[in-house]
Structure 1
Amino acid sequence: MRTTMSDRPVLIAGGGPVGILLALALAQRNIPVRLYEASDAINEAPRASTLHPATLEMISALGLLDDVIGQGLIAPTFQFWDRPTRRIVAEFDHAILAKDTKIPFVVQCEQHKIARLGLERLKAFPHASVSFGAPVASIADCGDHVEITTQTGLGMETVSGSYLVGADGGRSTVRKALNIDFEGYTFPERFLVLTTPFDFATEHGVAFRAYFSDPDEWANLFKVSGDDGKGRWRAVFPTVPGQTDEEVLDESATEARLQKFFPKAGRYDIFHRNIYRVHQRVAASFRKGRVFLAGDSAHVNNPIGGLGLNCGVHDAMQLADQLAAVMLDQRPETDLDRYNGIRRPMNIEYVQQQTIANKKRLEERGPAAREANFDHLRRTAADPVAHRAFLMRTSLLESVRKNASLAGAS
């Protein structure tokens, strides 16, 4: 019997939300898929959690929207603050997008929950499999198919597939195996994340997403539901270059940061402390032969604005559409060239540029420039036309509409 392209599974390296949602999207299109994750389980460390309206539309198409809302928090508004004076500069409300999307709000849902929900849905498809504790050790593009070698509990295993997608994070084994440059830079300061149950909304009127401009120490503050549904607030601060982990994570130092941020009687309960390096990088290409990159393996950025995970999901959904169309003989294989041609420029224009600008806005030191930024935000929020245009871009709806027009072109 002749083996056709659709008989061979799509192989996916990486069991985070991007890899799992890609697998689900392919499985729903009757494409066989096999996913391999190096870790023994889904990573539950505090990471991305913001899902913008454009991404929620895709989550809805996968049948996961109600579950994501049920395990997350709806955040219709977000704020910009002047931290030194503790004044709200401007507030933006996604309700103004009601004519642009059926989902005019953000949902704060931790990425490990998204991955778990997708994984649970994948169990319904006999042509989909997921292997944890199975790192991809090597890859080979054989012209008409790909082969990977993965480490399993029984030893090394070689698996054949039609295509391979590297969704295996910023340190991607797949990207490195392809010798694709990861162009960009790493910030000299690291970011500190502190998680506390203190209710900043009730006590200080902070929206579930808030950005604090400060020439000395900017900050981000946002709320997630937590695994127990009781609510957790994550505060993000820059660290001083050269500080050791011990200095940054010291209990008295982290307490002092929060007390300086919003003083209160008594100590803060701090459930979690994490420090990490932050990058602005984009792979030189998102495709090489039968191998593709998606999510953090293709691009990383600072988290201000919550765009990285969203863009990764958008990569996955476009790639699922294109791979399925080619494998089901609905489109020529040359159609796959457009994945890199569309997704790479889209990330640079809508994610890299925005996140770099977001960070510069928050850390601006010049008094005149700070006031100009504040004045621009106030005028934008007060003008319905400008308010909508700002949210179309920051919510990635503008990029998705543009992506759809480019992807749909013959």
Structure 2
Amino acid sequence: MTMAPVLVAGGGPVGVITALALAQRDIPVRVFEAADVVNDAPRASTLHPATLEMLASVGLLDEVIARGLVARTFQFWDRPTRSVVAEFDHDILKNDTTCPFVVQCEQHKIANMAIERLRAFKHAEFNFGTPVTAITPADDHVEITVTANGKAQKISGSYLVGADGGRSTVRKALDIPFEGYTWPERFLVLTTLFDFASEHGVAYRAYFSDPDEWTNLFKVAGDDGNGRWRAVFPTLPGQTDEEVLNEAATEARLQKFFPKKGTYEIVHRNIYKVHQRVAARFRHGRVFLAGDSAHVNNPIGGLGLNGGIHDAMHLSGSLSSVLHGERPASDLDTYDAVRRPMNIEYVQQQTIANKKRLEEKDPASRQANFDQLRRTAADPVAHRAFLMRTSLLESVRKQKAAA
């Protein structure tokens, strides 16, 4: 009897890595992506050690490193004084992981390389321009409706993975609440070719605390491999896109950040709403939510994409074991029972705390934060413990211990 395929809604990195991990275990998969091409707009790029271990398990690590930038260290800065408060070095984790570093690799690259690998499997299929528009769950299968070339088509599978983003059609079709809130300020991302490392000694990942305007700054390779820097700023509630994105405003913002002679070469501008939300449940019968369809968070700390890839690896492992008859179907309950609390504890709580630390206005609290960061960085035991948590290695080890 031929095994019914696992269906995946969404062809971003989370959906494709889920499919790839399943295909590598001889599970037939069909992926349906609404867009005609992979979205290459600047989005997530930070891959933490725990996630790099997972990417190694599906054969993607070497290519991720080759097409990204290795960032062993990261820094906390006091923006008003333009001084480094503390620096953390992932090399302290060399006895804890085979990947004691972070890799900055843009998510569209990850999606594209995973799609290429997926297409090598005869029992795997990837479809662009084919949105999932309806879901009909049943006790022994799941049926979806997709639209391709203007025509609706019904497709049946064993299970469905909804990895179709924060506005997930799958989540909405199942009427699963997306609990949480939206931050009042939007985030502005400016991408520039100016080299903050050579000019100011900024690490490839850096967080600038400021009671008036905190900033995240990090470097990516870019499609040309020549490197570019992304600066993330909060905007004032009520500001229009034009007020924030016009050339004079963006130039003034960067000049205030690090003044320089001549203008900044800005190659991309983007502004977006930021949410802290978690789906009320990650499973509904034979349908599962993963990645942004299950949880979204602010980008400070670079944890969102990582959490999604962790979803992908947990879910693909459970589904393949059940479909091969190695474990009972009841084991699929562990996905929601494990991944939802893990996201709340290690992604939601950390990203909210990261934002609060950077935007702290009280002088005494700011100084206390700085003192704590300095003490932590100076103490090898505390330094390691801090990185075990921020790198998500602690969450993965905790998850394995509970399995």
Shorter-chain TM-score above 0.5: yes
**Residue among 334, 356, 359 paired with 2:355:** 359
1:147 aligns with 2:139: no
Q: Secondary structure at the match of 1:399?
A: helix
Partner SS state of residue 84, structure 2: strand
The question of 1:22 aligning with 2:18 is answered yes
> 1:404: how far off?
1.5
Q: Which amino acid aligns with 1:146?
A: V
Q: Indicate yes or no: 2:68 matched with 1:72.
A: yes
TM-score for both structures, normalised by structure 2: 0.99
Match of 1:342 in 2: 338
SS of the aligned residue for 2:276 comes to: strand
Q: Where do residues 10-409 of structure 1 align in structure 2 (5 Å cutoff)?
A: 10-153=6-149, 155-406=151-402, 408=403
Give the Cα–Cα distance (whole angstroms) in 1 for the partners of residues 88 and 256 of structure 2: 26
* Counterpart Cα distance in 1 of 2:52 and 2:201: 26
Counterparts of 1:103 and 1:330 in 2: how far apart (Å)? 30
Deviating above 6 A after TM superposition, structure 1's stretches of 4 or more consecutive aligned residues are: none
For 1:202-256, what per-residue CA distance to the aligned partner results, in whole angstroms no more than 9, with x for missing partners?
0000000000000000000000000000001000000000000010001000000
Deviations 1:60-117 (A, max 9, x none): 0111111000000000000000000000000000000000001100000000000001
Q: How far apart are the structure 1 equivalents of 2:86 and 2:8?
A: 42
One-letter identity of the residue aligned with 2:282: F
- Aligned residue identity for 1:344: R
Cα deviation, residue 143, structure 1: 1.1
Aligned partners of 1:309 and 1:238: how far apart in 2? Answer: 20
- Aligned amino acid, residue 176 of structure 1: K
1:307 CA drift (Å): 0.2
* SS of the residue 1:271 aligns to: strand
Q: What code does the residue aligned with 2:214 have?
A: W
Letter in 2 for 1:284: A
Q: Secondary structure at the match of 1:183?
A: strand
Where 1:30 maps in the other structure, the secondary structure is coil
SS, match of residue 8 in structure 2: strand
- Matched AA of 2:128: F
1:354 CA drift (Å): 0.2
Q: Offset at 1:154? A: 5.7
Residue type of the alignment partner of 2:92: I
Percent of aligned pairs sharing the same letter: 74
- Distance in structure 2 (CA, Å) of the matches to 1:156 and 1:405: 45
In 2, the alpha carbon distance for the partners of 1:229 and 1:255 equals 24
Equivalent position amino acid for 2:286 in 1: R
Give ranges in structure 1 of 5+ residues lacking alignment: none
Could you say what the CA RMSD is over the residues aligned between the two structures, in angstroms?
A: 0.6
Aligned residues: 403
d(CA) in 2 for partners of 1:116, 1:137 = 24
Rounded Cα–Cα distance in structure 2 between residues aligned with 1:36 and 1:122: 13
Distance (whole Å) between structure 1 residues aligned to residue 358 and residue 194 of structure 2: 23
Distance 1:54 1:348 in 2: 17
Alpha-carbon distance in structure 2 between the residues aligned to 1:299 and 1:316: 13
> Where in structure 2 are there 5+ consecutive unaligned residues?
none
Displacement of 1:124 in angstroms is: 1.0
